[in-house]
């Protein structure tokens, strides 16, 4: 519940940033320059004199947006692929899961970097690239659920009434596997956010003047010795959000687990 409450606050602030941000996002003040936290700038300013609090608030929109949208891409691919493999079974299932095993053997970040280099470094391609490599575990989870559900009585009854494979999957099988899907989705968002932060740290994520928490931390790391606040506050925002998402995922897993004693 604490994780959920913190996430509500963080998402609310990110959504309201255009109206509540204390300063302009892109406006620079080279004369003012980088300064530590003060009354006018509670989290200090960066190398170009931009308010760090404002930058972190706008960065929250990018980091959360990348995490959520890439997770949606991952869910779409993983649920569809895993459900189809589990429902078909037999040779089709084995062939489809061998593809997943092969992709598991490839380094995720290497694939993402290749996709970003091939298709360009922009925010839309970042969504697609991260989502396209995060669906493997989701596919395995959904396949396992479908394998345990496809021979249940209600699924057999749906087949007996003339339901085709896609209809049975969409209306009867996948809805009964929604619990594990929701739980893993909440755990995928922080994983994607960490990957985006790593890419931004390498300079392959969001491009200036847009900023995410990862790119802000990257800028701060270059001046860690003399201006520690530039990496401290973006890192703290990322840490709190990731912990909250993981706590929420753990709580949902316990709440939806039928084996947990009540």
pLDDT tens for 117-141 read 777 666 677 777 777 777 888 888 8
Among candidate residues 229, 227, 204, the one with its CA nearest the CA of residue 215: 204
pLDDT digits over 69-123, tens only?
888 888 888 888 888 888 888 888 889 888 888 887 777 777 777 777 777 666 6
Tokens 């897993």 belong to which residue? 253
The Cα 213–Cα 66 span in angstroms is 11
The Cα 24–Cα 50 span in angstroms is 8
**Which residues lie closer than 8 Å to 210 by C-beta, 6 or more apart?**
62, 123
Four-point Cα dihedral 87, 92, 96, 98, nearest 10:
120
Q: Please return the burial class of 113, using the count of CB atoms within 10 Å of its CB with bins 0-12, 13-18 and 19+.
A: middle
User: Given a cut of 50, is residue 261 above it in pLDDT?
Assistant: no
What domains, with CATH codes, occur in the chain?
44-256 (1.10.3720.10)
pLDDT digits over 36-47, tens only?
888 888 888 888
The Cα 152–Cα 149 span in angstroms is 5
- Phi/psi for 209 (5° steps) reads -80, -5
The Cα 150–Cα 153 span in angstroms is 9
DSSP 36-104: ---SSSTT-B-TTS-BHHHHHHHHHHHHHHHHHHHHHHHHHHHHHHHHHHHHH-HHHHHHHHHHHHHHH
The Cα 166–Cα 175 span in angstroms is 13
pLDDT of residue 256: 63
pLDDT of residue 257: 56
User: Given a cut of 60, is residue 258 above it in pLDDT?
Assistant: no
pTM recorded for the entire structure: 0.77
pLDDT of residue 103: 82
């Amino acid at each position: 519940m604490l994780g959920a409450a913190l996430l509500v606050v963080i998402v609310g602030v990110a959504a309201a940033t255009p109206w509540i941000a204390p300063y302009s996002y892109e406006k620079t003040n080279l004369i003012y320059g980088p300064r530590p936290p003060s009354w006018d700038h509670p989290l200090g300013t960066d190398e170009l004199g931009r308010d760090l609090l404002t930058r972190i608030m706008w960065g929250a929109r990018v980091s959360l947006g990348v995490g959520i949208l890439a997770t949606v891409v991952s869910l779409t691919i993983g649920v569809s692929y895993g459900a189809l493999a589990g429902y078909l079974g037999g040779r089709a299932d084995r062939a489809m899961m061998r593809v997943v095993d092969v992709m598991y053997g490839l380094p995720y970040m290497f694939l993402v970097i290749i996709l970003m280099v091939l298709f360009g470094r922009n925010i839309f391609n970042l969504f697609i690239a991260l989502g396209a490599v995060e669906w493997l575990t989701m596919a395995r989870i959904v396949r396992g659920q479908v394998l345990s559900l496809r021979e249940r009585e209600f699924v057999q009854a749906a087949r007996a009434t003339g339901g085709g494979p896609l209809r049975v999957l969409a209306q009867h099988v996948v809805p009964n596997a929604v619990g594990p899907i929701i739980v893993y989705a909440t755990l995928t968002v922080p994983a994607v956010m960490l990957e985006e932060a790593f890419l931004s740290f390498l300079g392959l994520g969001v491009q200036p003047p847009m900023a995410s928490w990862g790119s802000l931390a990257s800028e701060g790391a270059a001046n860690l010795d003399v201006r520690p606040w530039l990496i401290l506050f973006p890192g703290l925002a990322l840490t709190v959000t990731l912990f909250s998402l993981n706590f929420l995922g753990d709580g949902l897993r316990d709440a939806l687990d039928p084996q947990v004693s009540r």
